[in-house]
Each structure stands twice: as C-alpha cells, then as structure tokens.
Copies of this chain bind each other. A is one copy, B any other.
C-alpha cells in the first residue's frame, strides 16, 4: 500500500491532508473560542465577543474574524450608525464544525482525567472550561 503525501494548493492555501486543512481553517489559539461562543449566543457584537475572551487584543480578534469571514464560517453585518455596530454570527458552514469541537472537548476532558488520575492523588482538580 503506497501512501502519497503530495502538497495540495487551494485558494492560496497549501496542505498535505484534510486534517491539516481543517486545522488551518478552524485551528489556532482563538478561532475555536470565537466559533463556539457564536454558536452559543447566535449573534454577537464585536465588543461583546471581545468581552467573552479575556486576553485577546483588538487586533487579534479582528484578524481572526476576517479570516473566518473569508473562509465563510461566519457572516459580518455592519450597521451604518454612530457609534458603529457590527454583528457576527455563524454561517451554515460555521455551524458544521461545532460537533468536531465537542468531540475534541470531550477527548480533552478524558485526557485530563487520565493524567490527573495518574499524578499523586490527594490533589483536587477544579474543572473550569473557557467555553462553557
């Protein structure tokens, strides 16, 4: 059985397998959190989104949102008001990744349990997740 490992090019992106492609689109430090929060709240303004993500800078949030929009995972609606108002929400494509996040979330929980259980017992681990 021969395994190919060609590099594919699509729309200015290059990747060697679909896992890698998926990571490029929804991976990284912030994108999963953005998508998950949008899924929970349906619609969020820029400021509200920022408030749910302590630690992110405006520049970073804008950048991630632009990329997600370019990949059509989210839609952006700007109202011509003063002060400005911009609302973000998931597209259908964006909603379709949520099950993957949940699967990874669950796996991470199990992994944490198994690691914690292996460390010297007696310590108690609080479970506080960033997106629940």
Interface readout for A43-79 with B: 1 if CB under 8 Å, 0 if not? 0000000001111000000000000000110000000
Query: Which residues of A from 1 to 52 have beta carbons under 8 Å from B?
Result: 3-6, 8, 10-11, 16-23, 25, 27, 29, 32-33, 36-37, 52
Q: Which residues of B contact A81 (CB under 8 A)?
A: none
Pairs across A and B, CB under 8 Å, 28 listed: A3-B52, A3-B131, A4-B130, A5-B55, A5-B130, A6-B130, A8-B126, A10-B116, A10-B125, A11-B119, A17-B32, A17-B105, A18-B105, A18-B112, A18-B129, A19-B33, A19-B36, A19-B108, A19-B131, A21-B112, A22-B105, A25-B108, A25-B111, A71-B111, A72-B114, A93-B111, A100-B100, A100-B107
Most buried by B among A20, A99, A106: A20
Q: How many copies does the complex hold?
A: 2
